[in-house]
Chain A
């Protein structure tokens, strides 16, 4: 646990950041015939204020894992806890979730899309727009506040989705491959921005990704998942200073370690994405 010591010692952890604990969590979805088991006896502790990256191929239950933490999917067995308060409930304000797709309401302006969580809580229009503008500024999208989502580029729309997840200042931020639809260059820029956001205001971040490079650039700890039914195959600490260079001896070593772990759990023919 040297990682936690360095990351948490180097910057202040807000009291808001919460640890996440999953104990023996299984999730099975009803299906015709056999139920589809997405997660099986997954146990994982995520320290408050850490930046954890979850990696694994399609269908290994990464997204289900985030939905369990967000309170969108109830585990079939096992337990989930955020901090001391226990079971998460969707919309209880402790979790912000950004999706693979921006998921913006096409008929609302960017600022109103970002303000949506506050609108659902009944916050007055003027106040929620003001807060939404602040959130937009944090993700560098203030100039697009009045624009409809159809007029935003893919990257801008993702920023708006991120701003919406950040607006309630949630202690836990869940990111479900939010950059996977973007081109490599935009994506690397995003990784940097996300780290900056996280270092400005530390909170518990769990990022799901396909990309080993992204995992090595971003993570305190990398969780390598098994194939379905998903559970934790390996936990790889990344004890490197930030911002990290694009490639160095140290990052190359971690990169190799992650790829080796993935190759161990996922047969090569099932993981062509590894070579990207």
Chain B
């Protein structure tokens, strides 16, 4: 109850400061629209269906990209964590892929993979991959060597060691990576849409900003992305609370 009140209070404060800023500075709506203007524009966008149309596209990119990126990253992260050789061989490529700006890579990937949903999911997965792979690796290595010896004394196979000790030990760190990854997935989807797409919230931002000079609509798209990010992050936190021992 207290936490809910705090959340509502902070949201109210945020909106109040925003409103105050528009009033005090007197900026026109096409530069900084007031909150009620954005809310009004959001209602219209919902009513005529364009908001949902673009949100559905972006959301599917985010969910598929995050799932693909996270699952691959966890698999690779386990390999990295268990074998120094695998880490030596793979880590330069992984770090290189992360260091190259995704903005520069996205148009290339878009061309290579046919410019459709697949290309956008892959771009999204790529940006999600690094933090989750690294978190998995670090987590796997955090397994208690005393417990590992105990399991070996019981004749545990390497697979059993991973399933029963290393993965459960990795969960707290892994969830840190998943939290970062899920918010990056939102960015990845927008970047992918900018590289070439005809619908999605990233496209809506471009249309509103550069085509229609409809700044309130751009704010609606940004707020929708923020809500998606907060919701998905919240779902990861809920999963974390259920799976990780406190």
Contact = CB atoms under 8 A, between A and B. Distances in A.
A89 interface: yes
A72 to B, nearest CB: 6
Contact of B168 (A89, A107, A119): A107
A91 B154 contact: yes
Contacts of B154: 90-91, 116-117, 120
B168 A105 contact: yes
Contact of A103 (B146, B160, B164, B168): B146
A70 B153 contact: yes
Contacts of A95: 153
Contact of B153 (A91, A105, A107, A148): A91
Interface in A84-111: 89-93, 95, 97, 99, 101, 103, 105-107
Nearest to B157: A120
Contacts of B155: 89-93, 120
B170 to A, nearest CB: 12
Contacts of B37: none
Interface string B130-168: 000000000000000011011111111000100011001
B39 to A, nearest CB: 45
Contact of B149 (A72, A92, A116): A72
Given A101-B146, A106-B245, A72 B160 contact: no
Q: B interface, how many residues as a size bin? A: 10 to 19
A34 B74 CA distance: 40
Nearest to A97: B153
B7 to A, nearest CB: 30
Nearest to B244: A107
Given A97-B153, A120-B155, A105 B160 contact: no
A88 B235 CA distance: 48
A149 to B, nearest CB: 10
A90 B165 contact: no
B245 A148 contact: yes
B151 to A, nearest CB: 8
A120 B165 contact: no
Contacts of B160: 120
B148 to A, nearest CB: 10
A72 B168 contact: no
Contacts of A103: 146-147, 149-150
A70 B149 CA distance: 11
Contact of A99 (B150, B152, B164, B168): B150
Contacts of A99: 146, 150
A185 to B, nearest CB: 26
Q: Most A CB atoms within 10 A — which of B151, B154, B155, B156?
A: B154
Contacts of A120: 151, 154-156, 160, 164
A90 B152 contact: yes
Contacts of A106: 245
B87 to A, nearest CB: 22
A98 to B, nearest CB: 10
Nearest to A117: B154
Interface in B74-128: none
24 contacts: A70-B153, A72-B149, A72-B153, A90-B152, A90-B153, A90-B155, A91-B152, A91-B154, A91-B155, A97-B150, A97-B153, A103-B147, A103-B150, A105-B147, A105-B164, A107-B168, A107-B245, A117-B154, A119-B164, A120-B154, A120-B155, A120-B160, A120-B164, A148-B245
Interface of B: 146-147, 149-156, 160, 164-165, 168, 245
Given A99-B146, A99-B150, 5 more contacts: A70-B153, A72-B149, A72-B152, A117-B154, A119-B164
A-B pairs with lowest CB-CB distance, top 5: A91-B155, A103-B150, A97-B153, A117-B154, A107-B245
